[in-house]
Structure 1
Amino acid sequence: MTMVIGVGTATLRLAGARSLKDKRRVLKSILARLHNRFNVAAAEVGYQDSHQKAEVGIACVSTSGSHASQVLAAVMGFLEAEDAIELMAYHTELL
């Protein structure tokens, strides 16, 4: 059996966040929706001390590289469409 791990990082801008508390409230909601909608693991992995910038790490496990790529593309599309944030940059890869 083949196991493929898809990983991605997304750099986000939260222009409306006025404090770390605002940022964490928005991120908590987004991370929960990513898990519920796409069945991925997601967490804030960078810029923890900045209230208007965040780096999010995303991971999924699949038996197919094409499925893992599709899931990560859908996650990035979801982040890009989200009104509360701006997707500044992202990177994905399969392991």
Structure 2
Amino acid sequence: MVLALMTLELRFQAHSLKDKRKVVKSLLSRMARRYNLSVHEADYHDVCNRACLAAAWVGANSEGARRVLEGVIALAEQAGAELIRPEIEFY
């Protein structure tokens, strides 16, 4: 059994906190639904063009975890976010 933890720092186009909430909420929902993982906004709550997302996934092997996390990164990039710093840990 593998536990995969990931934090993603993202930068994107948003001119207000309301715009940011719309983008982040949509992205969190798509990530959780598509990849069946737990994800939330972990930092930069009051910054309108940045977000830090934290995600956790449990699976049978590390190959599956890597595929899921690569998919999460791709989903963030498809949403128009610039990936600043991804951090991935396996336990």
Q: TM-score, normalised by structure 1?
A: 0.88
Q: Secondary structure at the match of 2:15?
A: coil
Which runs of 4 or more aligned residues in structure 1 lie more than 3 Å from their structure 2 counterparts after TM superposition? Answer: none
**1:69–1:94 CA contact under 8 A, matched in 2:** no
Which stretch has the larger CA shift, 72-81 or 20-29? 72-81
Aligned to 1:60: 57
Structure 1 or 2, whichever has the larger Rg, is: 1
Paired with 1:41 and 1:87, the residues of 2 have a C-alpha distance of 19
Which stretches in structure 1 are left out of the alignment for 5+ residues? Answer: none
Give the number of equivalent residue pairs. 91
Extract unaligned runs of 5+ from structure 2: none
Residue number in structure 1 paired with 2:90: 94
Aligned counterpart for 1:72 among listed residues 69, 78, 81 = 69
**Partner of residue 7 from structure 2, selected from 6, 9, 14:** 9
What's the TM-score once normalised by structure 2's chain length? 0.91
Q: CA deviation at 1:14?
A: 1.9
Equivalent-residue separation in structure 1 for 2:69 and 2:32 (angstroms): 12
Identical-pair percentage: 36
2-structure distance, mates of 1:74, 1:87: 13
Aligned partner letter, 1:6? A
